[in-house]
Structure 1
Amino acid sequence: MRTGPRNLITDVEGLRVGNSEDHRIKTGATVLVADKPFRASVDVMGGSPGSRETELLAPDKLVEDVDALVLSGGSAFGLDAASGVSDGLRRLGRGFKVETATVPIVPGAIIFDLLNQGDKDWQENPYRALGAAALANASTDFALGTAGAGVGALTANLKGGLGSASLVIPGGYTVGALVVANPTGSVTMGDTRHFWAAPFEVGDEFGGLGPLPTPMTFEQTSRSKRDWVTPISNTTIAIVATDADLTKAQLKRLAVAAQDGIGRGASPAHTQVDGDLIFSVSTGAKPIETPVLNALQLGHAAAVCLSRAIARAIYLATPAANDIVPTWQEKWGGK
């Protein structure tokens, strides 16, 4: 497998990602935006999702393109991050044109990070400002780990974070993933340093340790935040993107296929207390030549990228005051 030059979702040409965070609150926002509106769809497999404007991404809905996608902490409060992004896009003249009106189309999704020991005693919702700042910071290069919407993320036994990865597949198509990894499950194989995503690792992007060499019990594979930490603050939200020219219906299938990446990157996944949600994006830059074969390859690549992005999020997380659980580097980096 070969990654793009950055090993980030922004290896899909035309995409940019911006982060903003408040380390006192232990939360943040992340925005994906492009040089022009882009086609998108979504798939939800978690039992407790939180989202904005996802219904319009169905293949039968009128609007074909969106202006940005937003991933945020803050549970329901965090949905307001998309409002800050919408404000900024409107000032730029971006949006869906309806006669003299311009309406930016900005779907979003959130994780629950309200019980991570950050100072949540704010009097005014901070997420609108976080969204606006993330849009202003959008670039082809951006931080991973304890950054953006991943600042307050937790896994069952380690600190979570923001991750990204990319692949270039046959036909020259680029596929990338961006994820906020905050699952109720573990991203490592039980309480070990080995990542569930190890079989899909490219080089040593998250340590090069390979899979756990010994079999695991059911109890080891099913432990969740209910076993390791008091707060039950969950959900993995992600974006997968490609330069292949996919329709909204094809993007829906890409998002469905990419859900395998959450299952490969965390255990357990897609639970009743997770809000697992994946947006899928096409910039439309490269025509599809063999639809069935390309769809199969693109879906597999999206799942592989997502599983790797989840592992990278945890591998690159950094410690902060009052953390409930250690980072991977604190617990396993020196071993």
Structure 2
Amino acid sequence: MRPGPLNLITDVAGLVVGNAHDARLRSGVSVLSAARPFTAAVHVMGGAPGTRETDLLAPDKLVQEVDALVLSGGSAFGLDAASGVMEALAAAGRGFAVGPALVPIVPSAILFDLLNGGEKGWAENPYRGLGRAAFAGAGTRFEIGSAGAGYGAMTGRLKGGLGSASAVLGNGLTVGALVAVNALGSATVGESGHFWAAPWEIDAEFGGRGPARAYPATEEPRPMKRTGEATTIAIVATDAALSQAQAQRLAIAAHDGMARALVPSHTPLDGDLVFAAATGEKPLAEALDTFALGHAAACTLARAIARAVYAATPQPGDLQPTWSHLFGT
């Protein structure tokens, strides 16, 4: 298993990502889309999620493919980002056909960044416009760190952000991850700059510090945010041909990566969620391919989470320090 050429989720051929943010708002939106609909699923492990159109991603529902997936800041206000993406898709003639009508399918998830110091007293919800802008700017190369849905994100200790990573497997399949890290827990061990995800790091992609020599095994962590303020939302993607049920298993397996990279994770006080996307470009050769995909999804998501925190940049008015400020690059 090795990173793809960009070490981004867009190493999965056919996928593009767009980011948009508002510096005064201190929030933003990230959109994953493709030239044609793709299979998608979702699995929620946190106790306080915020979502739109996720019920239709169950394997027994009529719609089996989506046109885009949206990750957004803004708490429930951020769900309107999907409306902007829907408008852009409709203008491009995209959507699920119901007779002569086309309905773009755009599931989304949000994180809470309303208390991060940004100006939130808007007269009109800004997230619809941010969704349109993110969709319009989508491409194979995009910024991580303080960008998109992770622009105003925070963790229990350090500034959060947007992360991405990829892996090319020995069987020729590719897996990628995109994540907005706004965690209740911490991405680093104790007071050190060592990432929990260090055992899965490839090519010093988040500093190359390796695992911490000691772990706080007896520590009983307490929340460093108030109830409802934390959520890590992610997408894992592959070029494999998966059914919606198989994609859901991929999302479930990917949650292991979240638990490896953030301590604690999946608490009653956050909305941790993983979407899975499959473009269907490559058939599964054997049953063990799904086993390999699940492992790769977990490893890749763990790496993407660490890369989000590692790449975050200082901004005026930050309420938390960045990893780079405390530990250097």
- Structure 2: distance between partners of 1:307 and 1:207: 14
Is this contact kept in 2: 1:185–1:223, CA < 8 A?
no
Alignment correspondent of 2:235:
239
Shift of 1:232: 6.2
Alignment correspondent of 1:325:
320
Q: How does 1:1-335 map to 2 (within 5 A)?
A: 1-219=1-219, 222-226=221-225, 233-291=229-287, 293-333=288-328
Over aligned residue pairs, what C-alpha RMSD do you find? 1.2
- SS of residue paired to 1:76: helix
- Structure 2: distance between partners of 1:135 and 1:215: 41
Superimposed CA distance per residue, residues 89-130 of structure 1 (whole angstroms, 9 cap, x where no aligned partner): 000000001111000000000000000011111111000000
TM-score by length of 2: 0.98
In the alignment, structure 2 segments of 5+ residues that lack a partner are none
In the alignment, structure 1 segments of 5+ residues that lack a partner are none
- Structure 1: distance between partners of 2:16 and 2:87: 18
Counterpart residue type for residue 245 of structure 2: A
Is this contact kept in 2: 1:116–1:231, CA < 8 A?
no
Most deviating of 210-219 and 199-208: 210-219
Shift of 1:231: 8.7
Is this contact kept in 2: 1:71–1:109, CA < 8 A?
yes
Counterpart residue type for residue 243 of structure 1: D
- Structure 2: distance between partners of 1:326 and 1:237: 21
Shift of 1:170: 1.9
- Structure 1: distance between partners of 2:187 and 2:227: 17
- Structure 2: distance between partners of 1:260 and 1:208: 22
Q: Percent of aligned pairs with the same residue?
A: 60
- Structure 1: distance between partners of 2:30 and 2:73: 9
Is this contact kept in 2: 1:154–1:233, CA < 8 A?
no
Is this contact kept in 2: 1:225–1:232, CA < 8 A?
no
Counterpart residue type for residue 225 of structure 1: M
- Structure 1: distance between partners of 2:95 and 2:316: 40
Counterpart residue type for residue 51 of structure 2: S
- Structure 2: distance between partners of 1:105 and 1:254: 20
- Structure 1: distance between partners of 2:284 and 2:143: 32
- Structure 1: distance between partners of 2:218 and 2:164: 29
Shift of 1:215: 3.4
- Structure 2: distance between partners of 1:106 and 1:206: 31
Counterpart residue type for residue 73 of structure 2: G
- Structure 1: distance between partners of 2:218 and 2:24: 38
Superimposed CA distance per residue, residues 53-89 of structure 1 (whole angstroms, 9 cap, x where no aligned partner): 0000000001011000000000000000000000000
- Structure 1: distance between partners of 2:210 and 2:222: 21
Cα distance change of structure 1 residues 181 and 216 upon mapping to structure 2, 3 Å threshold = same
Moved over 6 A (4+): none
- Structure 1: distance between partners of 2:157 and 2:324: 13
Is this contact kept in 1: 2:228–2:270, CA < 8 A?
no
- Structure 2: distance between partners of 1:166 and 1:71: 18
Shift of 1:233: 2.0
